[in-house]
Amino acid sequence: MTTGCTSLSNGVWVGMMNVFIIQLVRKFNIEEGNYVENQASYESVSNGSSQGSVGTESIDASHKQSSAEPVTLKDFYRLVKPGIIYSNLMTAFAGYWVAARWDVSWTHLIMTMLGTALVMAGGTVLNNYLDREMDAKMERTQNRALPSGRLSANVVLWYGIILGTIGLGVLYFGANSPLATLIGLLGLFLYVWLYTAWFKRTSVWSTFVGAFSGATPPVIGYCAVSGTVDLGAILIFAFLFLWQPPHFWALGIRRMEEYRAAGFPLLPVVKGSFVTKISMVRYVVLLVPVTVMLTAYGYVGYLFLIGSTILGLIWMFMSVKGFKATGEAEVVWAKRMFLFSIMYLTLLSILMVVDTVKIS
């Protein structure tokens, strides 16, 4: 019976989101030839131009072609940055599981994960909205639906607001957790306003601020069960907070010139790769005692301790090796660091769940 109710609940939510997207498309008349807002500002971005605004003659032909394509549901799906959602849901699930200690209410778990996913989706969509002009200047992002002109800014803005609002509602009413809702709202505010709208454009501290918001999903999961911010919530927050800067700076070193051209004052752009590597080592080193404390205070067992220590030492070794890398070798090193950071988080999230200490 529980499985049937769960399937029905999931079907209802999927149906609601499909209907919402279709109605949104109809409301704003998104169809071929009637979807561009501020198109001139997007077309003024020359591909590879150092001036950033030179007129429509210099626009890359493929960019023009992509903006002429009609919008699809896949564009709405990509706006939420599904890779970010999935990885953060993984950590939210781990946080929930550690707090529940295997004594899980599946309905409550589903509502918590759904609410968390929608709040994060709202944040990433609003991030796309605020970054639309900068995204148009970067090769990695210029073909996204908004900077390429397939979607209008108004549609994306309301899409993000509605997703975030629904997510907060699900956390409050579905998961019945005012604390998780408050943390979700705080994470949304930090990510959209402080990080995207302010620090990302003005300061090398943007990654530090972004790490605060990025560390909230597992705390939402944890506090939805615990109902309080205790030592477990703090340690899980610290784990995700410390993981993010070396993860993101690896990408920053790899694509440094793109970030420089787009005007992002990222640490590698402002201070150079050597200073960035020093900072990366610091964060990776600090991760080890945090993971040890999760075992020392009885939240997870020795399997997690062994796994986290081994992976932490490997990451430290890789970080230190980066000081010898220059030129193309540095780009290769940064890519390996980025990929290893993803593997590190994935494996430790799995170990955290598998080795959670049960209620005695």
Higher pLDDT, 70 or 226: 226
Give the C-alpha separation, 150 to 104, whole Å: 43
Q: Which of 82-86, 239-243, 302-306 has the lowest mean pLDDT?
A: 82-86
Given this model, what pLDDT does residue 30 score? 35
- Mean pLDDT over residues 244-260, rounded? 93
Q: Per-residue b/e over 95-116, b at no fewer than 16 CB within 10 Å? A: bbbbbbbeeeeeebbbbbbbbb
pLDDT at 34 over 80: no
Q: What is the pLDDT of residue 132?
A: 84
Q: What is the mean pLDDT of residues 209-220?
A: 95
> What is the pTM for the complete model shown?
0.78
290 to each of 76, 240, 277, 308, 313, how far by Cα in Å?
A: 37, 10, 21, 10, 13
pLDDT at 298 over 90: yes
Q: What's the token pair of residue 198?
A: 């302010």
- Average pLDDT rounded to a whole number, residues 200-215: 92
pLDDT tens column, 110-146: 999 999 999 999 999 999 899 887 777 777 777 777 8
pLDDT, tens digit (0-9, with 9 covering 90-100), for 37-67 = 333 333 333 333 333 333 333 334 344 444 4
What is the rounded CA–CA span in Å between residue 47 and residue 213? 32
Question: Looking at residue 63, what is its pLDDT?
Answer: 44
pLDDT of residue 27: 38
Q: Tell me: pLDDT of 16 over 60.
A: no
Q: Are 320 and 218 in contact (CB under 8 A)?
A: no
Residue 14 in this model has a pLDDT that exceeds 50: no
313 versus 137: the higher-pLDDT residue is: 313
Confidence check: pLDDT of 22 > 50: no
The string of pLDDT tens digits covering residues 266-277 is: 999 999 999 999
Query: What's the chain's average pLDDT?
Result: 83
- Quote the tokens at residue 18: 């499909």
